Structures are given as C-alpha cells and as structure tokens.
Structure 1
Amino acid sequence: MSQQAVLPRQKTPNTSEATIFKILFVIGLCHLLNDAIQAVVPAMFPILEKSMGLSFTQLGIIAFSLNMVSSVMQPLVGYFTDKKPMPFALPVGLSFTLVGVLGIGLAPNFALIVLSVLLIGLGSAVFHPEGSRVAYMAAGTRRGLAQSIYQVGGNTGQALAPLITALILVPLGQIGASWFTIVAALAVILLIYIAKWYSERLAVFPARKQRNSSSNSQQERLSSDVKKALGFILLLIFARSWYISGMTNFYAFYAIKEYALTIKQSQIFLFAFLVSGALGTFLGGPLADRFGKKTVISFSMLGTLPLSILLPYVPPLVAFIILMLTGFILMTSFSVTVVYAQELVPGKIGTMSGLTVGLAFGMGAIGSVGLGYLADLISLQTMITWLGMLPILGLTAFLLPSDRKVAEFNRKSS
C-alpha cells in the first residue's frame, strides 16, 4: 500500500518537470525583442532632442512615463494573472508595444511621444510577469538556469538598443523608430506560439500552485529583522537604479559634449556599458553560489564606487574601459538581490520578485526626472560627477544579514 502511494508521486515530476529548452529559448528571445524596443526610447534621446528641441527635463519625463507605467502595472498584472492566468495576454501586450513604437517614429510633438511611450510601457508591464511565469513553467527542476536564460535575453536586448540606434536611428532620424515595428511583430508571432503552449500547460500547474499558496498563507507576518533586511535591499536597489538611469539616459550627452563624439560614437560607449552589464547579470548568480549572496551584493556596489568617481576625469579610451568594468561589476547584483529577497520571504516568491524587479524600474523612472531636472539646474557635467558618488550607499550592504542568517529566517518561516 505504501509503495502504491509513492509511485504516482514520482511519475508526475518526470512528466511535468522536464526542462523545456525550446520554450525557454523562445521566451528568452521574446524578452530580448521586448527589452530592445523598450531600451530604444532612452537611446533615441539625442535624436529627439535635436528633432524637437526637448529639454533634459522633458527627456526625463519621457523616461519616467515609460518606466513608471511598466513598474506600477507590472505587479498589478502579476497579481491578477496569479489568480486567473491569461496566456494570450502576452501577444496582446506586445501589440500595444508595436503601436507605441510606430507612434514614436511618426509623432509630431512631445505629447504624442509621451502617449506612444506609455503604450510601450503598458506592453512591457504585461510581458514581464507572464514571461517570467512561462520561464518558471518550462524550468522543470532547473529554475536557476531557466531564469538565467530568460533574464539574459532581456539584458541583451537592452544592450543591443544603442548599437541598433547607431546603425538605424542615426542615419534615418526619428522615422527610423517605425522600423522596430518589424521587431515587435516578430515578438507577437512568437508569443502566439508561447501562448498556445502556455494554455496546454495550465492543465498541469494550477492544482500544484493552489496547494503551494494555501500552505504559504500562514506566513503573512514578517519579523522585524526580515523587514529591516528588506529595507536595506530596497535602498541598494534604489542606488543601483538611479545610477543606471543616469548613465543610460544622460551619459551619451555627456560624452558628446566632453569628448566631442558623434551621436553614433556615444551610442557605442553606452553599448559597452550595457553589454558588460548583461554579462555581469549572467555571472552574478554563479558568483553568489560560490562566494555568497551578501558578498556579491557588497562587492557590486563598493567595487563600482572608485570607478564611478574616476569616470568624469579620464580621457575617452579610459572612460570606455571604465564603463565596461562599471557595467559588469554593478550588474552582478541584479539577479542576486532578487534571490536574496525571495529567500528572506520564502512563501512570497512572486511578490518578492515583483517588488525587487518592479521597484528597479520605478526607481529608475523617478531618477530619470530627478536627474534630468538636476542636469538642467546645475549642468550636465556636474550632475554626472555627483552621480558617481551614489554607489557609496553600497556601505548599507554590510548591514544585511549573512547568508547563514537568511537561511535561519527561512527555516523559522517554513
């Protein structure tokens, strides 16, 4: 009788928990396409400034509109689809992005640019929580690997945007953005395929998910130590997001003014920062497994500090090298902060993921407006110099509980 009871439970994981690499690579590619389109918005800032005569504050408002809609809507979409999964929300969301990117290419004024950007933000808000769910469903027992494939797709998309901008948008101008509707259309087609697979898999996952959520319902109250640790993590995410926002939105202008670079050359500098950041994100997880999450988070911020302070005072070639090192070191903590928060509150995996990743977009949005206003107020050069001091908040990482302590919190809550 006892053997009879064990056999069915062993069979289910074998059939439903195999890692489905085809789905992971397709959703990773869609993440690349989605984030490439989203990252084209700040990469277009030098072109929009010239074609429309926009101020740094207006450019900050555009970035704020994009990131704020994405960050505010993302947890709401995730919460809603947790209760009622909607596989075909994925291609529908990317259809909003398609309309938005077409609008940016054709918009004659600032107001329509903002409206187009809001549509791109909405499409991204729908894509990210559902894309993450697809990666989870296709992961089987290899969830770390699945998230790496999914996340690297997005980071690579962001890194490619300046390069694509230099090759397409600089020669064609604002109208060149409309060519990215082809990219969005390809993503929609791929997501229709994903949505069909997702619909079929829903027959396997809901029952297990309901059991998990009911067993976790008693873990509502957090201890003061856990709340404090979460506060420190969110402060570190705040510092990282503001720094990245300042670099991706305004460093191209700085490089053009200080080094007399062309728009195309400045985009290559930005590409170096972002592509090394994608590599840092991918390697951050394995480094944390070897050296500990707290160690990697601390190194990520404090290792960036001397480089970010030095950056405004060096010649172009050295600046290019420093940008690559800064992007790599800073972004090693991106996925690690998510995992650290998830382990702090093990019963709320989705909530912690949404809080840490969504907050990163939200803080970047607020930072875009604040830093744009600061650049107009005290000059771009001074703002970039002050920005280099921001990673000093990484000292907060020393106040985080050790990995062993987090494991103790984990045991107490389970």
Structure 2
Amino acid sequence: MNIRVLLLLFMAHLLTDFGQGSIPIVGQYLRDTAGLTLSQVGTLTLVSSLLSAVVQPLVGIYSDRARNGWMIPLGLAAVGAGVWGLAHASTYAWQLFFVALTGVGVATFHPEGMRAAHYASGGRTTGMSIFQVGGNAGYGLGPAAAGAAIAAAGVAGWPGGARRPGVGGGVRRAVLPAVRAVRGGGAAVAGAAWTGGAGESGEPGDLTGRGKPAPSRAGQPSAPSQDRWGPAAMVLTVVALRAAFQFGLTTFLPIYYVEVRGGDPARSGLVLSLYLLVGALGTLVTGPIADRIGPRRYMALAMALLPVLHLATLATPGSWMLLFLALQGFFLVSQYAVSVVLNQLYVPNHLALVSGLNVGLGITVGGIGAATAGWIADAVGLVPTLMGMSVLPVIATVLAVRLPEPQPEPAAHTA
C-alpha cells in the first residue's frame, strides 16, 4: 500500500465530506429561522443527492478514460462554495441552488478519489478504509462544527463562524494543516503518475492504471477478470437501501433530538457527530476484519444488526439512547468501504464507474429517502416514520446474504 498517497486522499476526503456533513445541522436551524417544513428540509437533501447522482457516473466514465486527478481538488472547491452559499442564501430557491452545488462537488470528487485509493491500497479493504474514514470523519466533524458556529453566530456564521475565537478555532487548527498538505501534495495526487507506489501496472509510481497488464505469479500475463454486473447490481441495491435509511436518520435525528427528546439545539450537532464519528472509527477498525472474513460476510453481518440497534435507539432514554446510536453508527457507516471494495471485485475493469455508481446511487436514493421521510413525517409524525425506517436494513440483509463470493484480486494487486 502507498500510505503517503492514501493519507493525502484521506485529507481531501475529510475536507469534502466536512462541508457536506454540516448540511443537516444548517437545515435544522433553517427550519427555525426560515420556517422550513420537514418536507422542505428533506428536499434540500434530495436536490443535493439528485445532482450528485446525475454527475457521478458521468465523472466515473470520464475518470476511467482520462484518469484526471484534478477532479479531486475541483470537487473539494465546489463543496466549499456550496456550503458557504447555503449559509448566506436569502431565499429557499437560492438554498436549493447552493445545496445542488455541493452535490456536484461531491460527485466530482468521489469517483476519481476512489479509483486512486484502489490503486494506492492494492485493492485491500484496509487501504480503502483509510480513504473512507477520512470522509466519515469529515462528515462526523461537520455537524459539531456547524452547530457550535451557528449557535454562537447564527446561520450566516457558518462557515464564517470558524474564524471566531473559541467557536471554530479547533476546527481551523485541524483543517488548515490538511488543506496545506493536500495543496503541497497536489502534484502527487493530481498528476498523471503519482510517485512512490505500485499501481495496476505494477510499476513504481504508476497509480493511474495506464501501464501494462500485471504479470501473474508464474511470470505470465494474467487474464483480465470478467465483470460480474449481476452481483454488483445486488450490492448497489443494498447500498441504496442503506443510504435511504442513513440519510433519513441523519436528516431528522437533530430535529428528533430537539423536538421529541427535548434536547438542547446547540448540542444536536454533537449527537449527530457522535453517530458519524463512531462510524468513522468503525470504518478503520473493521477494514482488517473484512479483509479476514471477506467483505460479503462482514456487510451481511453488520446490516443484520441495524434494525435492532435502531429500534433500541428510539426506545431507550438518555445515555442508553446515545450508546445504541453510537453502535448503530459503528455498524452502518463501516459498511461503506466494504461495499466499494466488494463492487470493485465484482467489476474490476470499470473501477471508477462502479465506484461512482456506488456513491451516486446511494446518494440519490438516500436523498429520495430523506425527502420521502419528511413528507411522511409531516403526515403521520416523526417518531412513527423513524420507526418504520427499520424495515430498510431488514430487506438489505436478505439481499446481502444471497451475494456470491467475489473473485480474488490478481496477484499484483494483493502483493
């Protein structure tokens, strides 16, 4: 594994999802300050998701052909502009526009980032987990940072509130070194041939996959593995169901915490961050476990635990709720890297495309799930809606246990 490149990708992923992770908290405060309904809050998520879904597979196709690493910083910049605009938008139409811009940024970043992480990791779940945990950590830190900044300075104070002493100083100290590192390593991440690692070609410094076919252990060129789109489609269905479940939960958990549990609005971001950051920890911890028992088995096991943990979160008080919420985040979020690796094993000849579909379809259905949950919650109430969402991981578990074993990676990828 090329640890240097993986760490640079980790930082870029953290920054991209840091901005995206703040959107649910901004939505919660816009519900109070701008009078948005639950369905309007859910629609903000939906718009971002739909734009991401449309763009992401297209970027994946382009990335498989052109292998243009500059899509990574370009996506990061679009997310930053979108988050800033959302915080300063004066009308709902402009809020929708800037949320859409964040979706385009996310779609631009992920396919090329995942393709690069695949080569840098040698196709291992452990290496992909390093990349994925950056996004999980950023997505988890975003709500806490946004909640603190907005509580101190209002919605327009985010992201500008990060400049206030005591509000965003810690975030700034953590994020700015990452920005400098990504900028300093830009030639390594965005160049056509990144130095210091072995790519698909097996040649040092080539993480683009442009080289010759990797030789087998016997010294003969290995036959290319065939794409298996049937099992990949099943994984994508599991990803879609999981995303609908997670997006509905992350969109309305802050509102549930404040309006149903009577929690402090200023702490709602911390509750959401707890859920997401424990998930980031799960991604890092479970990478070696998935490598040992297989990504298919791990995904099925983790998915089977979610309905019980979700209902326990809604049924238990105080600290018990937080404990079950943290466990739910651990087993849900940790599946993201596993599902990416699994689909890359099923479709080894279109890595960026299948990665883009993995993220794009998940974001799309997740956005639709969040918007649908908002419409249902406006009609029947928030608590029944959240409880009903537990059926989604049940269906996903049934599909996950029926997946076939993937073909092993070629020797050059796993050495």
Query: Would the TM-score normalized by the shorter structure come out above 0.5?
Result: yes
Q: What's the counterpart of residue 407 of structure 2?
A: 407
The normalised TM-score by structure 2 is: 0.82
Q: Aligned partners of 2:154 and 2:140: how far apart in 1?
A: 20
Q: Aligned partners of 1:333 and 1:98: how far apart in 2?
A: 26
How many angstroms does 1:344 deviate by? 2.4
Of the candidates 266, 289, 299, which is equivalent to residue 268 of structure 2?
A: 266
The normalised TM-score by structure 1 is: 0.83
Deviations 1:229-257 (A, max 9, x none): 33432232122111111111001111212
One-letter amino acid of the structure 2 residue matched with residue 26 of structure 1: L
Of the candidates 159, 166, 180, which is equivalent to residue 178 of structure 1?
A: 159
Q: Aligned partners of 2:296 and 2:123: how far apart in 1?
A: 23
Q: Radius of gyration: which is bigger?
A: 1
Q: What's the counterpart of residue 159 of structure 1?
A: 140
When the two chains are superposed, the root-mean-square deviation of aligned CA atoms in Å is 3.1
Query: 5+ unaligned residues in a row in structure 1: which ranges?
Result: 1-18
Correspondences of 1:12-411 after superposition (within 5 Å): 19-136=1-118, 138-139=120-121, 141=122, 144-179=125-160, 190-197=181-188, 198-199=190-191, 201=193, 205=206, 209=210, 211-212=212-213, 219=226, 222=228, 227=230, 229-393=231-395, 394-401=397-404, 403=405, 406-407=406-407
The SS at the match of 2:159 is: helix
Deviations 1:185-209 (A, max 9, x none): 8876654434323326269648852
Q: Aligned partners of 1:330 and 1:67: how far apart in 2?
A: 19
How many angstroms does 1:409 deviate by? 12
Judging changes above 3 Å, is the alpha-carbon distance between structure 1 residues 216 and 209 closer, same or farther for their aligned structure 2 residues?
Answer: farther
Q: Aligned partners of 2:119 and 2:402: how far apart in 1?
A: 35
Pairs aligned (count): 384
Judging changes above 3 Å, is the alpha-carbon distance between structure 1 residues 280 and 122 closer, same or farther for their aligned structure 2 residues?
Answer: same
Judging changes above 3 Å, is the alpha-carbon distance between structure 1 residues 180 and 70 closer, same or farther for their aligned structure 2 residues?
Answer: farther
Deviations 1:323-373 (A, max 9, x none): 011111223322222222222233333333222232221221111211111
How many angstroms does 1:110 deviate by? 0.6
One-letter amino acid of the structure 2 residue matched with residue 296 of structure 1: Y
Higher helix proportion: 1
Question: Which range moves more in the overlay, 97-106 or 299-308?
Answer: 97-106
One-letter amino acid of the structure 2 residue matched with residue 209 of structure 1: R
Q: Aligned partners of 1:359 and 1:333: how far apart in 2?
A: 15
The SS at the match of 2:260 is: helix
The SS at the match of 2:36 is: coil
Preserved CA contact (<8 Å) 2:67 2:208: no
Work out the percentage of aligned pairs sharing the same amino acid. Answer: 29
Judging changes above 3 Å, is the alpha-carbon distance between structure 1 residues 23 and 292 closer, same or farther for their aligned structure 2 residues?
Answer: closer
After TM superposition, the runs of 4+ consecutive aligned structure 1 residues lying more than 6 A away are 180-188, 213-218, 408-411
Deviations 1:274-301 (A, max 9, x none): 1111122222322222223332122111
Q: Aligned partners of 2:19 and 2:369: how far apart in 1?
A: 20
One-letter amino acid of the structure 2 residue matched with residue 162 of structure 1: P
One-letter amino acid of the structure 2 residue matched with residue 81 of structure 1: S
Judging changes above 3 Å, is the alpha-carbon distance between structure 1 residues 88 and 293 closer, same or farther for their aligned structure 2 residues?
Answer: closer
Judging changes above 3 Å, is the alpha-carbon distance between structure 1 residues 90 and 192 closer, same or farther for their aligned structure 2 residues?
Answer: farther
Q: Aligned partners of 2:103 and 2:273: how far apart in 1?
A: 22
One-letter amino acid of the structure 2 residue matched with residue 193 of structure 1: G
Preserved CA contact (<8 Å) 2:123 2:409: no
Question: Which range moves more in the overlay, 127-136 or 387-396?
Answer: 127-136
One-letter amino acid of the structure 1 residue matched with residue 186 of structure 2: A
The SS at the match of 1:209 is: coil
One-letter amino acid of the structure 2 residue matched with residue 269 of structure 1: V
How many angstroms does 1:263 deviate by? 1.2
One-letter amino acid of the structure 1 residue matched with residue 407 of structure 2: A
Q: Aligned partners of 2:282 and 2:62: how far apart in 1?
A: 32
Preserved CA contact (<8 Å) 2:302 2:332: yes
Preserved CA contact (<8 Å) 2:15 2:76: no
Q: Aligned partners of 1:110 and 1:186: how far apart in 2?
A: 34
One-letter amino acid of the structure 2 residue matched with residue 283 of structure 1: V
Deviations 1:363-411 (A, max 9, x none): 211112111111112111111111123221112222222x3xx338999
